[in-house]
Amino acid sequence: MQDLTELTIKQAHEGLKNKDFTSVDLTKAYLEKIKKSDLNAYLSITEDLALEEARKADEKIKTGEFSILCGIPCAIKDAIMVEGQKCTAASKILENYVAPYDATVVKKLKEAGAVILGKGNTDEFTMGGSGENSAFGATKNPHDKTRVAGGSSSGPGAAVAANEACYALGSDTGGSIRMPSSNCGIVGLKPTYGAVSRYGLIAHASSLDQIGPMAKNVEDCKIIFEAICGKDSKDATSVDYKFEESDINLKGLKIGVPKEYFALRHGSGQVKGLDPEVEKIVKDAIKKAKEAGAEIKEISLPNAEFALACYYIIVPCEASANLARFDGIRYGLSEQDGNLLDVYLKSRGKGLGPEVKRRILIGTYALSSGYYDAYYKKAQEVRQLIKQDFAKAFEKVDLIFCPVSPVPAIKIGEKTDDPLANYLMDIYTISVNLAGLPALSLPAGKVGGLPVGLQIIGNHFQENKILSIASQMES
């Protein structure tokens, strides 16, 4: 008997078209799997609603006129609004908050006939790279349950990898789609800033946040991206962008390898912080591309070393402004007290977790009088330099290949006492967000049974190039 949860979007679509099974059959298979799971990939499951959506999809399928996503079950990160469902952002302050409207991406999926199984776990307010900052417990990695799934889109990543969803939507502020995709061995795309509407995503850092697809393979990733991209009147930063497939070949393609990402060596000859086995897997992938006819060029991103410091000033500044709205008055948890200031302090004190408080404190400090120019303004200047580095690199190369993460999935609890060590995990992903570029994590191999992702970075709005080459690398 075929396990329906192992099918890709394309395979499931063919099965529905050929009437081998119904969307209700498919949805029930996923729900059964979720019920037996102990991964903590979901924060809420909407069984009745999912089955109702599946029945509607089956009616549509009977007419013969239906989209490729019709009747296919998916998971949505719990920082993206789905009307009438809880949207907690994995925070106690929003524990019982119900979304009053659909995010634009959710609206588009619903119009395509998608079935939403539930809301995926995440780091609180999407702040974290491991998935351990969720107020409702860490997501476990399907490949080794003692390890993290990666963050912040930990639930969607684990759900897709464990066949608890056919695909998922995550969001990426500094690696939050690519990190869990790499750790869980799936394909995840962080689109160009503005390619996908952010309307209905609970804001973390508005100049960096981007919603994107997480899927079992490159083809599925492409299908979802095509369905959700484009201009949205409700998001002023979204761009009128239509995805068009392109047939780009590895032969003759110029691939850049940033020397800074492989250059910081100890006396032992090992790259500082980069696991030698991860380095080998990424270099083997680069070698395969070369054997297929690609031209490999060493490039320089001289300001890459400042990216982490730059990111961890800009992000807390934007987060402190965005999270000011969670004051115990308008949304979620409210600790009543005679004094208005005490309502604010008690509600936020009780409702927000340590990482969120840390970022609010850093951001408020950096934006305060006398420090704004020294920190925030300086970080924005460095951000421009990082953008220029990539612009210069893309004058010489078509795509950039590098690791997603310096190490495979870490053990749960391994770095919780050391926020800085956790921040260093984002070293290869954050520059992409600072520059607003698209990038994809592609499974490239395993270290001791743990997946490792190859990161493929493209120039602005060159998702077609990334997906086309990733598809060739995959096969």
CATH of the domain at 132: 3.90.1300.10
Predicted local confidence at residue 115, as pLDDT: 98
Per-residue pLDDT reduced to its tens digit, 315-361: 999 999 999 999 888 888 888 877 888 888 888 988 899 999 999 99
- pLDDT(267) > 60: no
Query: Is-catalytic flag, 197?
Result: no
For residue 165, being part of any structural domain is answered with yes
User: Is residue 465 a part of any domain in this protein?
Assistant: yes
Considering the domain boundaries, does residue 134 fall inside one?
A: yes
The mean pLDDT value for 10-22 works out to 97
Q: How far apart are CA 160 and CA 288, in angstroms?
A: 27
Residue among 28, 77, 190, 222 flagged as catalytic: 77
The dihedral formed by the CA atoms of 282, 288, 294 and 295, expressed in degrees to the nearest 10: 60
Q: Cα dist. 442→12, 99, 225, 297, 461 in Å? A: 22, 33, 15, 20, 18
Would you call 152 a catalytic residue per the annotation? yes
User: Which uninterrupted H or E stretch holds 393?
Assistant: helix 378-396
DSSP string, 187-200: EEEEPPTTSB--TT
126 confidence band (pLDDT: 50, 70, 90): very high
The single residue of 130, 152, 171, 320 carrying the catalytic annotation is 152
Cis peptide before 368 (omega within 30 of 0): no
> Mutual orientation of helices 307-322 and 378-396 as an angle, nearest 10°?
120
pLDDT confidence of residue 330: 84
* pLDDT of 38 above 80: yes
Cα–Cα distance for residue pair 391/371, rounded to 1 Å: 30
Q: What is the DSSP letter of 27?
A: H
- Whether residue 343 lies inside any domain: the answer is no
Query: Mean pLDDT score of the chain, rounded to an integer?
Result: 95
> How remote is the C-alpha of 387 from its chain's centroid?
21
The pLDDT of residue 266 is 43
405 noted as active-site residue: no
Residue 215 in 3-state DSSP? strand
What's the pLDDT score for residue 341? 84
- 425 belongs to a structural domain: yes
Confidence of residue 268 (pLDDT cuts 50, 70, 90): very low
Angle, alpha carbons 219-224-228 (nearest 5°): 150
DSSP string, 285-341: HHHHHHHTTPEEEEE--TTGGGHHHHHHHHHHHHHHHHGGG-SSSSSS-----SSHH
Total domains present in the chain: 1
pLDDT at residue 344 in the model: 84
Catalytic-labelled residue, pool 171, 176, 347, 405: 176
SS3 per-residue string spanning 28-78? HHHHHHHHHCCCCCEEEECHHHHHHHHHHHHHHHHHCCCCCCCCCEEEEEC
Query: Which of residues 88 and 328 earns the better pLDDT score?
Result: 88
Q: Which domain holds residue 99?
A: 1-312+400-475
CA angle 242, 10, 289 (to 5 degrees): 70
pLDDT exceeds 60 at position 435: yes
**Residue 470 within a domain:** yes
What pLDDT shows up at residue 337? Answer: 79
Residue 321 lies in a domain: no
Inside any domain, residue 237: yes
Token duo for residue 54? 């599946």
